[in-house]
Amino acid sequence: MCGRLAQYHGIHDFVAALSMSGALINNVGDQPLGRYNAAPTMQLALLHVADDKLHADAVRWGWRPHWATDRAAPVNARVEKVAHGPFFRQIWPHRAICPIDNWFEWVDEGGPKKQPYLIRHRDGSPILCASIGQLPDPDEGQGEHDGFVIITADAQGGMVDIHDRRPVVLAPELAREWLDPATAKERAEQMVLHQGESAEAFEWCRVRASVGNVRNQGPELIDPVG
């Protein structure tokens, strides 16, 4: 996963896809999110559970522990190492879902520049990405060091031709279990290792090169070309 995605529907559309009962504490507003070309360090809508309620907060995409001052904040975490490596130990228990409409990858097809591709669900439904992070406190609000990463796995099937990594995407029932604080860490690890959606759930198409400039935003960026 290269580090570019779209999150343009409203938070209520994403919550509806999650099919999670109970109150929503909505700190991102009711309007469409309008992120057609989101990049690392941007504030993105993130879903997490605190005090038995579903919270929607704007959280920085990217996180690193306080002691890792010699490297940039990663935006992704490899599923093979995330549960046991020291880097993400602090935030592994703090699970979240990053709901997106699609993500982008760039492919070398022999031209002067790499060709961008959009990847989305075949049925157009929201994509529920397993994530972990240092998350806003429900009482104190956002903190200076809040941030999140998306968990990634090896690509499968034809998706390998687009990129070697993909986000771990959970079906709604698994996403609800992932968010549940009562879910044991061992169970959460098995979910992201073995129960992410397969490549068959997705489709991909070429999009215009202007998506390569993060300053460009707008629905034309997700229109197929060629």
Catalytic residues: 2, 105
CB neighbours of 12 closer than 8 A, spacing ≥ 6? Answer: 30
> Residue 184, class by beta-carbon neighbours within 10 Å (0-12 exposed, 13-18 middle, 19+ buried)?
exposed
What is the rounded CA–CA span in Å between residue 171 and residue 178? 10
b/e 26-64 (16+ beta carbons within 10 angstroms → b): bbbeeeebebbbbbbebbbbbbbbbeeebbbbbbbbbbb
